Amino acid sequence: MKILLIINSLLIAFIGQLVAVSPSFSQETYRLKAAITGLNSSSVVVRYSRQGMLINDTIRVHQNQFTHALPMTDGAIATLVLSPTIQLPFWLESPLISITGKMGTTPFLQSRGTPENDMLDLYRKTVERPYTLRKQGKSSAEVDAIL
């Protein structure tokens, strides 16, 4: 009887461990939705860190749009890599992150979903984008007209 009780206890503990590491019972995920004009049907990469490892998820774009589920990350931040020179870091503190924008000579991308992403967008609009446009040789008047 005592041996049966020990076996039952070990079996319950083992099943509990299996359920705890099962993907269906994993931590919450984030949903990334994007609509970026100019991507057409290419591929993009979402880069994030999980359990100390750098993970690159390749996502197929269909008609300038894609959705992707991201697991819980180490730092609640990820980077959308559209090309080697066009990367968009964004915060993952909301279950739904929305990225919109357009590609071109000076891509314009916005990420929504958290106050931190709103601050990043404000920085990109007021500092980064004007700097990039001036670096391309545009005058202040041209930059002001674009913004």
Write out the residue range of the structural domain in which residue 63 sits: 27-146
Q: Which pLDDT score, from 0 to 100, does residue 27 have?
A: 62
Dist. CA 33–CA 86, nearest whole Å? 18
Task: Check residues 142 and 77 and name the one with the higher pLDDT.
Answer: 77
The amino acid sitting at 105 is: T
Does residue 9 sit within a domain?
A: no
Q: How many helices (H) and strands (E) would you count in the chain? A: 4, 8
The amino acid sitting at 81 is: V
Does residue 12 sit within a domain?
A: no
The CATH code of the domain that includes 115 is 2.60.40
Give per-residue pLDDT as tens, 66-103: 999 998 888 889 999 998 888 999 998 888 999 999 98
CB contact at 8 A, 111 and 98: yes
Closest CA relative to residue 33, chosen from 61, 68, 7: 68
pTM above 0.85, yes or no: no
Strands (E), 51-107: 53-60, 65-71, 77-83, 86-91, 96-102
Domain count for the chain, please give it: 1
Contacts of 96 (CB under 8 A, 6+ apart): 30, 31, 33, 113
Does residue 70 sit within a domain?
A: yes
